[in-house]
Structure 1
């Protein structure tokens, strides 16, 4: 299995997604489309991972549109795709749905609540890392997967091979520190969760988040 990862900023890497891929003995290729302008081909992609980033799908940048073209081609071939934050927004936008400002800027740790039990092994309530101020419109052909207290559209599942999450389950402890120290100003302004970068780091990553991430990836790849 070839796992192609699209990484959009240096401080938001694959985290436990890479650990899952290593357990599968998969070949992992990490692309940096914003920097190098390169994307994988459809016929060399068994699983596409689209990570987060500070940009918006609404930005008029050529590589963002090229990335959505790839997503559309993979959707047509029923290839498994997982998107986190910007990645989930890109999937929704590729399907023709809006990305807009969220009702609240969420930066830090907060609970999310399971809305659909399609994926086995997910608890009803989980603590996730939020780092966003925009949200996707849930595609009509998809099901709402997660919601939070402040922003309802937190995750969706489409068929048996597509999951998009507005938040992050993938960071491990070193990834958490990397995200927070390099983007430490972002939590300071208009953050509805009222958490500083140091408080976010001190919270630590819940132990269950790695297994939750594994369960999601196992589900979207098991029939493909």
Structure 2
């Protein structure tokens, strides 16, 4: 399987998604449309991953619009799509649903709570890395998958092919360090009250890799 990854900043890479792909024998291709303006085609995509980034889907930028065209084509082709943070927002907007300011800016580690049994074997509560101040509306036909204490719409699952998460299960220890040392200023104003040092020192929960595996296995089975 060829997995095409859309990465939108040097600080937010595929992390545990790469680990899953390597374990399953899949090929990973990483695109940087914000820098090079290049996107894969539908025909060369077996699965699409849309990662996070500092931009908003509401920004009027050509490559952001082009991404939504690609997402729409993949939705129509019934191919697996996984979106994290901005990526999940892009999926929602492609489906015609707005991205708006969230009730609280969340930056740091905080629990999320499972709201749907659509994906088997997901724990009822997990600790995830949050790095956002916007939120998506849940698309029609999708199920609310996760919520946090401050932001209800933290994840959705659409059928058996699409999952969008507002938070991050993909960062591994070195990824968290990279996010924090380069984008640590973004912590200011977070409702979670954590410092950059707090976020770096928080051990990445081992179960997050297992949960990522479960989600990606579900949409690719």
- TM-score, L = length of structure 1: 0.98
**Distance (whole Å) between structure 1 residues aligned to residue 108 and residue 187 of structure 2:** 7
Matched, 1:134 2:134: yes
1:208 aligns with 2:207: yes
Equivalent residue, structure 1, for 2:87: 87
After superposition, give the CA deviation of every residue in 1:142-174 in whole Å (9 maximum; x if it has no partner): 000000000000000000010000000011101
Superposed counterparts of 1:101-140, under 5 Å? 101-140=101-140
Question: What's the CA shift for 1:118?
Answer: 1.3
Q: Distance in 1 between matches of 2:49 and 2:60?
A: 22
> Which runs of no fewer than 5 residues in structure 2 stay unpaired?
none
Matching residue of 1:217:
216
Which residue of structure 2 lines up, in the alignment, with residue 78 of structure 1?
Answer: 78
Quote how far apart the aligned CAs of 1:120 are: 1.6
CA shift, 1:215, in A, is 0.4
How many angstroms does 1:12 deviate by? 0.2
The answer for the alignment partner of 2:167 in structure 1 is 167
Q: Shift of the alpha carbon at 1:204?
A: 1.8
Alpha-carbon distance between aligned partners in 1 of 2:72 and 2:140, rounded to the nearest angstrom: 16
CA distance in 2 between counterparts of 1:54 and 1:220 reads: 26
* Alignment match, 2:197: 198
Structure 1 gaps of 5+ residues are none
Aligned residue pair count: 221
Deviation per CA, 1:69-102, whole angstroms, max 9, x where unpaired?
0000000000000000000000000000000000
Give me the whole-angstrom Cα distance separating, in 1, the residues matched to 2:214 and 2:160.
13
Q: CA deviation at 1:196?
A: 1.0
Please state how far the C-alpha of 1:197 moved relative to its aligned partner. 1.0
* TM-score between both structures, scaled by the size of structure 2: 0.99
Name the counterpart of 2:26: 26
Distance 1:47 1:24 in 2: 13
Give RMSD over aligned pairs.
0.5
